[in-house]
Amino acid sequence: MIQIKEMAPRDGLQNEKVKILTEDKIEFIQKLQQAGITYIEIGAFVHPDKVPQMADTEAVIRGVDLQEGVETSVLVPNMHGFQKALDLGMKEVAVFTAASETFNQKNINASIQESLDRFKPVFEAAENNGIKVRGYISTAFVCPFEGLVSTNKVIPIIESLLEMGCYEVSIGDTIGKATTDQVTELFSKTHQLGLNGWLAGHFHDTYGQALENIKASLAFDIEVFDASAGGLGGCPYAPGAPGNVATEDVVDFLNSQNITLPIQINKLIEAISFIESKIGRELNSKTYKKYK
């Protein structure tokens, strides 16, 4: 069954220049739930000096009224972040690394192996407390600093994260330069290894390739896709990564493939219109412009 995992409240808002009020983030999340979104990443316990937009994550978590059947997660870089998530009653956290050494150094000031080593106590504590852990691998296809990334570098990281305890690993096209050939190459190899039931696609639409890359992923039984309402997002440490693929574009595309999700497009458009009014700039996904 195909599922969209909503990134807008975290990955979507983290790089916005205008400070979004806590109450507006909470209302945005409520509206996403009302649209039928069943999984939302609602914040991150990262250093507020580095990502100031996430400084109020604790208040957001406390303020959100979760509907039945809606899952939420929060990004944690280390045990300090995990402990905060645990204390707040979160049932899921996410950890992140990259397939490019240069990107990982610029992002979290650590090598890939060092980042994996940092996660070990998080996984141990998560297992002891019944907390699910999702993993992200950034720059899995192209790095803004190193260029093309070999699938032979990505697959061992996937395997390491799964062995450590991730229930799912999201494969990130962080700057939106992946081609369908690259997506096919990676997911065909992971399919041969029997890994695709634990993988998700995280595509940016920088060059208009995201939907084609999702289509290529579907051919290899990838059933989970990260997306961001309004196409919000972009990594502050990845030059040229303006936004995630828009949730509404993915819903519209899947409908064209005769894949129907329990997401009400009209209510999703309402949620996007609401957050658009708070960020001070226009959102321009094709589907949003068509329906708003």
CATH number at residue 232: 3.20.20.70
Count of domains observed in the chain:
1
CA angle (90, 92, 95) in 5-degree steps: 120
Token pair belonging to 60 = 């957001």
Candidates 93, 183, 211, 235; catalytic one: 235
pLDDT of residue 291: 86
Q: Which domain, by its residues, includes 28?
A: 3-291
Q: Which of 34-43, 229-238, 273-282 has the lowest mean pLDDT?
A: 229-238
Mean pLDDT of 222-231: 97
Quote the mean pLDDT of the chain. Answer: 94
6 pLDDT higher than 90: yes
pLDDT of residue 220: 98
Give me the amino acid identity at 237.
Answer: Y
Nearest one of 136, 215, 198, 146 to 173, comparing CA atoms: 136
Q: Could you report the per-residue pLDDT of 246-289, keeping only the tens digit for each? A: 999 999 999 999 999 999 999 999 999 999 999 988 898 999 98
Q: Is the dihedral of CA 101, 106, 107, 109 positive or negative?
A: positive
235 among known catalytic residues: yes
78 pLDDT higher than 60: yes
pTM score above 0.85:
yes
- Residue 241 — pLDDT band, cuts 50, 70, 90? very low
240 pLDDT higher than 50: no
Mean pLDDT of 208-237: 90
pLDDT of residue 235: 52
